Structure 1
Amino acid sequence: MRPKSHESTLALTWRRRTRRVQHDAGFDFPAILSSLTTTPARRFGFASRKGRIARGMDGDLVVLNGDPSADIGALSRVRQTKRGRVVTFGARVST
Structure 2
Amino acid sequence: MEDDLWAGEMRLCSVAGVEVLLLRTDDGDICALQSNCPHQEHPLSNGEFDGTILTCAAHLWEFDAFSGHSVNPDDAELAQYPVKVHDGNVLVSVEGIKPKHSHA
Question: What TM-score bracket applies, with the shorter chain setting the length?
Answer: 0.3 to 0.5
Give the helix-richer structure, 1 or 2.
1
Q: TM-score, normalised by structure 1?
A: 0.34
TM-score w.r.t. structure 2 length? Answer: 0.32
Higher RCO (CA-CA < 8 Å; seq separation 6+): 2
Larger radius of gyration: 1
The structure with more strand, counted as a fraction of residues? 2
